[in-house]
Amino acid sequence: MDDRLIKALEHADYRQTLGIERQRLKDKAHAELIIGYCGGMFTVDRTLIGFVNSIKEYGSAVILDDNGYPVAIENLEDFQARVIGTYFEVTNRYLTDYNEIKQKRTAAKLVDL
């Protein structure tokens, strides 16, 4: 087989595996950003962080969870700490994993073979 084609196919294999691994990390991070709090389920994202930050001074509030159901949050400060803590923990891990796969330049290395 033509060397040029062999190299291109090797690269295609690598990009295919890289694409799968990127998607996998994204799905994993998204799943880890969902938390349970006071019986409701909340996806931690920039919108939730900003919203909680803006109402924190009220001490307590009813917040709609991911399914649109009202959840009474008695301690907004604690909720904020949990939300931000989760965001930092998950996104930092995501970044570490993402940087790790970026440095791997073959399909086999991407999957630890």
Partner 1 sequence: MNQGCCIFAYDGDIAYGTQAVLAARLVKKYLNIPVTLITDEDTSKRVDHKIFDQVIISPTEDSANSRILSGQTIAFKNLNRNRIYDLTPYDRTLLIDSDFLVFSNRLKHYMDSNYDFMICENMKDLCPNRSGSVVSFSPASLHMLWATNIIFNKTPDNKILFDLVDHIRENWEWYGVLYQFDTRRFRNDYAFTVACHIMSGFGADQYYTALPSPLLFTDKDSLIKTSKKGLTWVTGDQNKLVKTQDQDIHMMNKTELLRKIDNFFNLYD
Spatial distance between the Cα atoms of 64 and 51, rounded to a whole number of angstroms:
11
Residue 2 C-beta: closest distance to partner 1, Å:
22
Q: Does residue 40 touch partner 1 according to CB under 8 A?
A: yes
Backbone angles phi, psi at 6, to 5 degrees: -60, -45
**Structure-token pair, residue 61:** 């509030």
Q: Using the Cα atoms of residue 87, residue 88, residue 93 and residue 99 in order, give the sign of their dihedral.
A: positive
Q: Which is nearer to partner 1, 57 or 113 (CB)?
A: 113
- Per CB under 8 A, 23 contacts partner 1: yes
Give 20 or 81: the residue with its C-beta nearer to partner 1. 20
Q: Rounded to whole angstroms, what are the CA distances from 7 to 1, 12, 13, 62, 107?
A: 10, 9, 10, 58, 13
Decide if residue 80 touches partner 1 (CB under 8 A).
no
91 near partner 1, rule: CB under 8 A: no
Task: Pick the piece of the chain touching partner 1 (CB under 8 A) from 2-10, 19-27, 55-63, 76-84.
Answer: 19-27
